[in-house]
Structure 1
């Protein structure tokens, strides 16, 4: 059995030129074109396209409304709808810009993403500890990962895309600052080995992975099934755990990226405590820019026994 690291293969291969992928090449070319445009020109175009997206993306928007209603029960229907509108707008704006992460320079990345709170990372480095960054599924997550990768060694883990060309393109982008991208099948052991080498990575604790080994804990205005593994992983890898928030500021046409203070390891002792600490960290990140979270994901799919699905 091979013990080679399960990295995504970033090398170009001739199979990517197969005619069945020509439409994907066209889509990538369009995204690259948008990525090369200045933000002052691209953002207004994105706002107009967002109106079209809202008309055709019925199912994702239904999920988004269900999530927002469950997480913010005190908000009116009009306030929920405003959040949905802003969410779609930010999605299109960031999607159209994202190819700049691969086709533009590192100096452009640093100009576009202002980094705050890096003193927490410096303190961890001085103590000889890598960092597990906690960030839920927000639209600007690729910007956050690559901006931090310009400052310290990072790896990441991703699920393979069904389209092999998009898979290649996305992982070329994610590794453009030198970090390797692990396949999901590599598992926690691969990440632990990276921590022991001094490499840091992002952990996304908001994904709903089903009831097995998950713990229900309060989350915004509801409860959420959370997988408590970060505390043990951090302990085994001698790492600190730090929440990270990022939001796109349309007025400045820049991203504000903030590394927050590390989570006290004592608050993550025991599965229930860890689930609570992780959910509280995710709440902090979401509440900073609630219009920029991926609300279309079914993050509340697993419900407590006897409670119906919110997505029906």
Structure 2
């Protein structure tokens, strides 16, 4: 299994080309030391700055919302854009806390909804495929789930060695190890060893091993078939899970839903559509907390022009 090796710092890590990464990591560590209420206002400021500077991402967010929610008014979609970037700002704070907070402090700021579904799944032999989505709480989600049931994360290593060091160790603070998102064999082996494997099939990863199925109001969204492939591993259970920031500012809630029944069914399009519906249901609980800034519909069927 091509498990990602734990990165280490060395003399090259302090080369001037990495000084920007050190400043970023130092900033994040400093954030983690602040009182939680102060962090809240800092997150709001970062969100406003992000919206002002990330013009192309603001455009993509608007376009995604137009495609997915055509029945909403322009004013409603604008409010969602505003809220989305507010949560982008909070995600910087959440990442700092997930990577640097001691367990006693982290545990004070999250609660669990649906723990009984995880307990039921663990009463049976086999791995657990955690079907998730790219919410702004992604880093908090990984650490929170790991405190209950340490598992295996799927991710893309960062090209900067300093950032990669802290990202890797932050994401494995309460989990076992990480597997590259292209390493399907590694994922299958982890599941066969009864591990929980975190998997987010909600991005547009291109047309390879993908089908075009509905996602919200877009009837042709490129969706990977890998979820069904992994779910076919013997005794694997598929549990939707995600984390949402609490509106009262108390932290966030780790949500674990019941295992999917009769999945997969063996039809690529039907299975991919089923997973999109799972993701849609999660998003609708808090659409402003989803990462709409990515080009979810960049891949189009042959002959169809782009939507961005």
TM range (shorter): over 0.9
1:220 alignment partner in structure 2: 216
Give yes or no for the alignment of 1:289 onto 2:286. Answer: yes
Deviation at 1:122, TM superposition (A): 1.0
Shift of 1:162: 2.5
Gaps of 5+ in 2: none
Alignment counterpart, residue 208 of structure 1, candidates 197, 204, 207? 204
Counterpart residue number, 2:299:
302
> Which residue pairs with 1:253 in the alignment?
250
The unaligned stretches of length 5 or more in structure 1 are none
Count of aligned pairs between the two proteins:
307
CA distance in 1, matches of 2:14, 2:267: 51
| Contact 1:245 1:288 (8 Å CA) reproduced | no
Matches within 5 A, 1:1-312: 5-185=2-182, 187-223=183-219, 224-266=221-263, 268-311=265-308
1:46 & 1:72 partners in 2: Cα distance?
27
C-alpha distance in 2 between matches for 1:31 and 1:294: 20
Contact 2:211 2:272 in 1 (8 A): yes
Contact 2:18 2:162 (8 Å CA) reproduced: yes
Quick one: distance in 2 between partners of 1:266 and 1:160?
30
Deviation at 1:112, TM superposition (A): 1.5
8 Å contact from structure 2 (residues 240, 256) kept in 1: yes
Please, what is the CA RMSD of the aligned residues?
1.6
Aligned partners of 1:23, 1:229: CA distance in 2, in Å?
36
Quote how far apart the aligned CAs of 1:133 are. 0.8
CA contact 1:227–1:275 (8 Å) conserved in 2 = yes
Give the Å deviation of 1:179: 1.7
Q: Is the partner of 1:12 in helix, strand or coil?
A: coil
